[in-house]
Amino acid sequence: MRGLKKLKQINFYQKILVLICITFGIAIVNFLYYNYQILKINKNDRHYTVNYDIDEEIKDLSELSINLEGKYIKDLIIKYNTHEDFSIKYTGEVSNEYGFFKEYQKEDKCFSYSNVCGINLNKKAGVLHLQIDKPLQSIEISVDNRLSFNWITFAFWTILINLFFVIFMFFKQLQKKIYVLTFLICMSLGTIFLFSTHNMTTTTLDDDSHYSMANILNKTSKNVSLSDYYLENYVSLFLFQDTKVEKENFQTFLNENDKNYTQTTFKYNNLLETNKICYLPMALTLKLTNLIGLPYTICFFLARCVQLICYSFLMALAVKLMPNYKILTMVIAIIPQSLFLATNFSYDPTVIACITLAFAAFANEFMNKKTKINLKNILIFVLAGLLGIFPKAIFAPFLLLILLMPKEKFQSNQQRQIFKFIIIILFLVTISTFVLPILFNINANSDIRGGNVSVSQQMKLIISSPISFIKVFWKNAVLDTANRMFSVSTFGLLSYYGGMEMDTSYYMFLLAIILAFFTEKNAKNINIKDKIIMISIYLLIFCFIWGSMYLAFTPVGEAGINGVQPRYFIPFLLPFLYCFQTEKLNSKIENSHALSITTVLCILSFALLTYKVIILNYCL
Amino acid sequence: MEIKRKRYSLYLVIGLLLFLFCFLYPFPVTIESNPISVVAVDYLKKDMIIEKEFIVKYNDLNELKLKFATYQKTDNKGLLNIVIIEKESNNKILDKDINIQEIKDNEYYVLNLPHYKIMKNKIYKIRIKVKNIEEESLIGIYGYTSESEKMFINGQETNNNITIIYNTKKPNYSLLFYPVIYYLIILLIEVFRKK
């Protein structure tokens, strides 16, 4: 403990030296941990071809057996030549952590774009049977036990441990500037996602179509490249990229085929449309990096980085603007699901960050009743609010929040009336971007992914049986909203990688939110009338969320509401909790303690989730 | 007072320019496209004539696109003639010779149309004639198969159809939200500007 305390007293350059030493230490431990089994192996056994036996009755390459003689196998690599994708089913015996052999089963998919696929075992293996579902002309099986450096786990541990040390060593400074701490944590944890997730689409919900939008500036009306085609159409390739060689092969394939064209038809999209304007930062990054001539996958990666930087910056700004509950705002900024989406192609991070920022500007003005309205805050509220609402116009009632501004904040009654008029017109304009397309073409907003959906049929059903609709709405929307706001899928759903469970990481994050809320020293009373209006606005938005998904995503006649994702509620977590503040909450925990405990809880929760869901399953 | 007037004029001019841009600027839009599933015409031969009728559902069409295959061969030589005729009046909308060297593998060839000559719901005929082609040249046209739509190759009916993509350029009126929002924000700024 004394040593740790001394760390706080050393000068800036010594602190940097400590961080460099930690990084080197992690590099050595990381190398030894992931290679100690290989270091024990004879050098000749690190990379060799395996002979296979063909089933005597079938006599082709559809059923093979290989004897791995109980040796340690890191990666089993299959080389092939094919024009169509195929699957391999592996069955046999593989040891567990103690070396006891157990039954093993795995199904892998191999793709025509590459001539290599494989499985990552990291264990001893005996006899394995391979069932191949398509005829192959030739196949070569090899074991890859070569020494390697696991950059992903290195990045994971380095960023995490250094982050703890940075927060510890610079805590005094960061405590005064929580917005800097927020930016630092968002960027650090986001970088872990950038490195540990696959640099491709279909890892996140609908990111293929989001990428297609962001990539529109790079396309000409003459063609669609093969690389674009793979990233915009192929589903969940990453699930089958178990080995390093497969990941590298796919990245090389994308880089080599960005000038080779496909049969896909090109469709124009206009990024200036209100619901697509949120793609502009990513689209401009993709265009600029492409113009410079960077490789395709680097352009893709940099666009993800820009999305993370924008998210972190807006959230840090929101923390800076908040008059109180800065720690709670920081906790909400580092919700793992938001950070995960911020490192991939999605518009949700823009919605979450902009609405949180707009709310911070509102709170800054609303809670400061003594001074007149500050134009800067109002402009931030309107501009950030509009940017957050444009992709999801059903959030438009959020703009009405600013009408709660008390009379005393205005210089004259006339100023107040004009202000109200402007906000109401802005609200009508934004809501019309959602309503007008429905009026002109009632089924335009139907989402065919929902199945047998039809907005017009659903409307007819509601009109013909209103009581049944109320029952369905009550059962789903009313009883399930609180669950959607604070569920494991709200905090920790990492799309197709998997998600948080009701385990330590969830409880840690929930505890961080509770602590951040109850330990606030500057909580103030909000009068009951304002509270009711605020909550009514949020409830109206929640009804819009459920209602829109009922109309557009739920098959006609189904007694449920499909497609309502918990992430839709994340932008309203802070505004909703904020309504319940009261001066009666007189916590004895000091602000610095509350900040350190919540920060540690959030980072640990993130680390547990990421290690369990991504690192263990996809990065070893 | 003078400064105020200048400021207001500037706001007004910027807003008007924004309005004009949103109201008039024609953005490219894909209005209809046939599917692409097969190579509808395998190898073009000298004097081959491909004819297909099509109906356009929009007035303001400005380009048609055809997709060619060269089977990765880059030194094809020859000349194609593409004619688009309005069936009823037999008027020629387009008559264009294409140097086969300009055609690239898997790329769309864009045919720019004289604006507003194509009318909604009228029947048009596209005729592709191979005026000349070297024997070693490999050129195909992408398309799809359909029972209901017919195409003619050298006068013989076939289920294979070439893919035609119709594009246009027209203003996107949904962008008119921006001048509205611009003026509202300017009004907001002026209302709260410190006197």
- The answer as to whether B96 is a domain residue is yes
CATH of the domain at B111: 2.60.120
Residues A169 and A275 in one domain: no
Residues B99 and B185 in one domain: no
Contact state of A373 with B192 under an 8 Å Cβ cutoff: yes
A102: Cβ–Cβ under 8 A, 6 or more apart, which residues? A93, A94, A95, A96
Report the pLDDT value the prediction gives residue A59, as an integer from 0 to 100: 67
> Within chain B, which residues score under 50 in pLDDT?
none
Q: Is B83 contained in some domain?
A: yes
Which residue range forms the structural domain that includes residue A581?
Answer: 322-587
Grouped pLDDT means (10 residues each) for chain A, 620 residues? 74 89 94 89 85 72 85 90 87 88 91 88 89 84 90 94 93 93 96 93 86 82 76 79 88 86 68 88 93 93 96 97 95 96 94 97 92 92 94 93 91 91 93 79 64 78 86 86 90 91 92 93 89 94 91 84 91 94 83 93 96 89
Nearest to B172 among A221, A270, A379 (CB): A270
Hey, are the CB atoms on A222 and B108 less than 8 Å from each other? yes
Co-location of A410 and A366 in the same domain? yes
A51, A70: one domain: yes
Q: For residue A386, give the nearest of B65, B106, B181 by CB distance.
A: B181
Pair B191, B107 in one domain: no
The nearest CA of chain B is from the CA of A596 a distance in Å of 40
- Closest to A263 (Cβ–Cβ): which among B106, B177, B178? B106
For residue B108, which residues of chain A lie inside 8 Å, CB to CB? 221-223, 266
User: B12 and B46: one domain?
Assistant: no
Reduced to 3 states (helix: H, G, I; strand: E, B; else coil), residue A300 is helix
In a domain, A187, yes or no: no
Specify whether B125 is located in the same domain as B51: yes
The answer to whether residue A191 is domain-embedded is no
Name the packing angle between helices A375-389 and A296-321 (round to 10°).
Answer: 140
Q: Kindly state whether residues A34 and A93 are assigned to the same domain.
A: no
- Please give the structure tokens belonging to residue A584: 């009666």
Rounded Cα gap, residues A396 and A398, in angstroms: 5
Residues A518 and A420 in one domain: yes
Q: Is residue A416 located within the same domain as residue A562?
A: yes
Burial A10-34 (b: 16+ CB within 10 A, else e): eeeeebeebeeebeeebeeebbeeb
Residue B30 covered by a domain: no
The nearest alpha carbon in chain A to B38 belongs to: A263
Is A254 found in the same domain as A236? yes
Residue A80 has which token pair? 């092939």
Closest residue in A to B32 (Cα–Cα): A267
B2, B45: one domain: no
Question: pTM for the complete prediction?
Answer: 0.88
Return the percent helix, strand and coil in chain B, to nearest 5.
25, 40, 35
Q: Nearest-CA residue of chain B relative to A415?
A: B191
Contact call for residues A291 and B190 (beta carbons, < 8 A) = no
Pair (A63, A33) in one structural domain:
no
Q: Which of A144, A171, A193 is the last residue of a domain?
A: A144
Best probe of the A interface among B191, B194, B195, by most A CBs < 10 A, is B191
Has residue A194 been placed in a domain? Answer: no
- Residue B178's closest chain A neighbor by CA? A274
Between CA A340 and CA A247 the distance in angstroms is 20
Q: Identify all chain B residues contacting A418, using CB atoms and an 8 Å cutoff.
A: 187, 191
Residue B112 in any domain: the answer is: yes
Domain count, chain B: 2
Same domain assignment for residues A214 and A353? no
* Mutation choice for A interface testing from B186, B188, B195 by most A CBs within 10 A: B188
Domain that holds residue B186: 1-25+171-195
* Residue where a domain stops, chosen among A249, A277, A305: A305
Q: CA of B171: which chain A residue's CA is closest?
A: A270
Interchain contact, A426 vs B193, CB within 8 Å = no
* B26: contact with A, CB 8 A cutoff: no
Last residue of a domain, one of A133, A165, A180: A180
Domain count, chain A: 4
3-state secondary structure of A185: helix
Does residue B192 sit in the same domain as residue B154?
no
Q: Are A354 and A466 found together in one domain?
A: yes
Q: Is A316 inside a domain boundary?
A: no
- Is residue B99 situated within a structural domain? yes
Q: Looking at the structure, tell me whether residues B56 and B152 fall in a common domain.
A: yes
Amino acid at B82: I
Is residue B194 located within the same domain as residue B155? no
Residues B46 and B132 placed together within one structural domain of the fold? yes
Does residue A595 sit within a domain?
Answer: no
- Scan for tokens 């004819």, then name that residue: B51
Q: Would you call A418 and B110 a contact, using CB atoms and an 8 Å cutoff? A: no
Q: How many angstroms separate the CA atoms of A598 and A517, rounded?
A: 10
Examine residue A188 and state whether it is found in any structural domain, yes or no.
no
Q: Which residues of A176-202 are buried (b: 16+ CB within 10 A; e: fewer)?
A: ebbbebbbbbbbbbbbbbbbbbbbbbb
Could you tell me if residue A486 is inside a domain?
yes
Can you say whether residue A50 is alpha, beta or left, with left for phi > 0 and alpha for psi between -120 and 50 degrees? beta
Measured between beta carbons, which residues in chain A are less than 8 angstroms from residue B30? 265-268
- The answer to whether position A279 is within a domain reads yes
Do B75 and B140 share a structural domain?
yes
Residues A114 and A27 in one domain: no
B56-91 pLDDT, tens digit per residue, is 777 667 778 888 888 877 788 889 999 988 888 888
Same domain? B144 vs B111: yes
The answer to whether the CB atoms of A429 and B180 lie below 8 A apart is yes
Residue A409 C-alpha, separation from nearest chain B C-alpha, in angstroms:
11
Q: Are residues A223 and A101 in the same domain?
A: no
Write out chain A residues lying below 8 Å of B106, CB-based.
Answer: 223, 260-263
Which residue in A264, A274, A419 is closest to B174 by CB distance?
A274
Could you tell me if B11 and B41 lie in one domain? no
With CB atoms and an 8 Å threshold, state whether B30 touches A262.
Answer: no
